[in-house]
Amino acid sequence: MTTTILRILFTLFLAIMLLVVSAWLGSFTVSKDDGLAGGAIIFWYAVGGFVAGIVIGLIVPRYLTEKALRVATLILGLSVIVTLAILTTRFQQSQQAVESTKPPPQTTKPTDN
d(CA 54, CA 12): 7
What's the pLDDT at 101?
Answer: 79
CA 23 and chain centroid, separation: 7
Buried b (16+ CB within 10 A) or exposed e, 13-49: bbbbbbbbebbeebeeebeeeeeeebeeebeebbeeb
- DSSP per-residue codes, 31-51: -GGGTTHHHHHHHHHHHHHHH
Say what the pTM is. 0.80
Quick: pLDDT tens for 45-99: 999 999 999 999 999 999 999 999 999 999 999 999 999 999 999 989 988 887 7
Residue 14 has pLDDT above 90, yes or no: yes
